[in-house]
Amino acid sequence: MRNTVEPIDLTMLQDYEGKWVVLSKDYKKVLAFGDSIAELGNTVSKGVMMMVPETEGTFIPTSL
């Protein structure tokens, strides 16, 4: 039996464009955000850290 993981809905991250965020382990809440990981403090160890790229266009890594 193949395991299927829950879908991840990241649509709420549009409000955090260009920021670093920490999501809850179930990916449903933003626990912290900032312009750098230094601003996230120790919440990083409690959740899922990620960067929110700009959302103006579709994503192709045109400029690394």
Partner 1 sequence: MIVPYTRRKLRNSQYPIALRPELGIELFYGSRSVSTIGHIDTGADHTLINKEFAKQLGLDWKSGVKTKSIGIVGNPVDVYLNEIELEVARLPGSRYKIVAGFIESRNVAILLGQVGFFDNLKITFERSKNRFEIETIK
Q: Which residue has the tokens 């193949």?
A: 2
For residue 7, state whether it binds partner 1 (rule: CB under 8 A): yes
Q: Which residue has the tokens 């464009």?
A: 17
Task: Tell me whether residue 33 or residue 44 sits nearer to partner 1 (CB atom).
Answer: 44
What is the rounded CA–CA span in Å between residue 56 and residue 30? 21
For residue 20, state whether it binds partner 1 (rule: CB under 8 A): yes
Contacts of 8 (CB under 8 A, 6+ apart): 27
For residue 29, state whether it binds partner 1 (rule: CB under 8 A): no
For residue 64, state whether it binds partner 1 (rule: CB under 8 A): yes
For residue 41, state whether it binds partner 1 (rule: CB under 8 A): no
